[in-house]
Amino acid sequence: MECGHSPVELQHALFGQHRYAEMRIFGELTLILCDFCLVDFGSFNAELFGLPKNTRIGYEKMQFLRDIEDIYITKDKICPSCNYRLPFLSFIKKAQELHVKCLKEK
């Protein structure tokens, strides 16, 4: 869901160069990530997801749900500015909303 905008990554998927897994992140939210994006997830600025600066968001904060065995590629909308696919942008928006709600409850 994160790197699926890249033609190179789409080729990797077609040729079986990565493993994919569904992960629970930030409590109730889930993402399907390739093995590289899974390890690299912690390099995102936490503020992108509505968290305080310097919050750790790496693999240790995720819960494995399942391996994704059947890989299929579909066309999707992509932001021309950041090149992220719509599912990843939706995940970011939901994470921001979730964290704003949590901050208000404190």
pLDDT of residue 91: 95
pLDDT of residue 105: 58
Task: Spell out a b/e string for 34-68, using b for 16 or more CB atoms within 10 Å of the CB, else e.
Answer: beebbeebeeeebeebbbeeeeebeeeebeeeeee
**Tens-level pLDDT at each residue, the chain (106 residues):** 777 778 788 888 888 888 999 999 988 899 999 888 898 999 999 999 999 888 888 888 899 999 998 877 777 788 888 888 899 999 999 999 998 866 565 5
In a domain, 1, yes or no: no
Q: How many domains does the chain have?
A: 1
In a domain, 97, yes or no: yes
pLDDT of residue 102: 63
pLDDT of residue 106: 54
In a domain, 2, yes or no: no
In a domain, 99, yes or no: yes
pLDDT of residue 12: 81
Dihedral of alpha carbons 22, 20, 71, 88, sign: positive
pTM for this prediction: 0.84
Cα dihedral angle (93, 48, 68, 28), rounded to 10 degrees? -60
For residues 100 and 3, give the distance between their C-alpha atoms in angstroms, rounded to a whole number: 26
In a domain, 31, yes or no: yes
In a domain, 30, yes or no: yes
* Residue span of the structural domain in which 38 resides: 7-105
In a domain, 63, yes or no: yes
In a domain, 76, yes or no: yes
Rounded alpha-carbon distances, angstroms, from residue 44 to 13, 49, 54, 56, 82 = 22, 9, 10, 9, 13
